[in-house]
Amino acid sequence: MKTIVYIVFTALLVFGCKTKTEKENNNGQPETTTVVEEKSAPSLEVGCYIYDANGNRIVFEITDVSTTVLGNLSYALKEKDGNKGTFAGVMNDSVLLGKYTFISEGKESTREMAFLVEDAQLIEGFGELDSTGTAFKDVAVLSFSSSMPLSKTECDTEP
């Protein structure tokens, strides 16, 4: 008799729990499971990223990658005055955004710059500037379609 009571009690317990679980999961809509693939942000490494073609040379030597990304940046563009200075910025997902302080024509200037980090390359971002002409109006709408991507390479020469 005890065995029959135990079997009935166990059956009620199992079916009762199963029914409760089904009720919690079945609210009239099919149950779906969403798997979110976590994409890792591209890695930015200490070293040199260079573009050198068609009379244009850009060298970005990244010297520190921690909470702040630091480096030396220089532009020697064909038929334009060159400039050389320092960069300090932060990574936000795959975009490096920061301030470039440089000397051009004997005068120190600062402007905001952005680079998309993609496949061991830095692609410069462009966008509408604010009224000062030194910062982006909206960093969310930058265009990264540079025809001069900087590729990771050995740091052996300066422009």
Question: What is the mean predicted confidence (pLDDT) over 100-113?
Answer: 93
Residues 140 and 57: their CA atoms lie apart, in Å, by: 28
How many helices and strands, by DSSP H and E, does the chain display?
A: 1, 8
Which residue, 132, 130, 80, 138, is CA-closest to 114? 138
pLDDT attached to residue 30? 53
How many Cα atoms are found within 13 Å in the side-chain-facing hemisphere of 102? Answer: 22
* Predicted confidence (pLDDT) at residue 98 exceeds the cutoff of 50: yes
pLDDT-derived band of residue 16, with 50, 70 and 90 as boundaries? Answer: low
Please say whether the beta carbons of 68 and 45 come within 8 A: no
pLDDT attached to residue 25? 52
Rounded to 5°, angle at Cα 123 from 157 and 118: 100
pLDDT tens-place string over residues 21-75: 444 455 555 554 444 444 455 689 999 999 999 999 999 999 999 999 999 999 9
* Predicted confidence (pLDDT) at residue 102 exceeds the cutoff of 70: yes
Please say whether the beta carbons of 134 and 59 come within 8 A: no
pLDDT attached to residue 157? 53
pLDDT attached to residue 27? 57
Question: What is the mean predicted confidence (pLDDT) over 77-101?
Answer: 95
pLDDT tens-place string over residues 129-158: 999 999 999 999 999 987 899 999 988 755
Please say whether the beta carbons of 50 and 151 come within 8 A: yes
pLDDT attached to residue 28? 57
pLDDT attached to residue 33? 46
pLDDT attached to residue 91? 95
Question: What is the mean predicted confidence (pLDDT) over 77-105?
Answer: 94
Question: What is the mean predicted confidence (pLDDT) over 106-123?
Answer: 94
Rounded to 5°, angle at Cα 105 from 124 and 107: 90
Which residues are bridge partners to 26 per DSSP? none
Cα distances (angstroms) measured from residue 29 to each of 26, 36, 57, 123: 7, 21, 59, 45
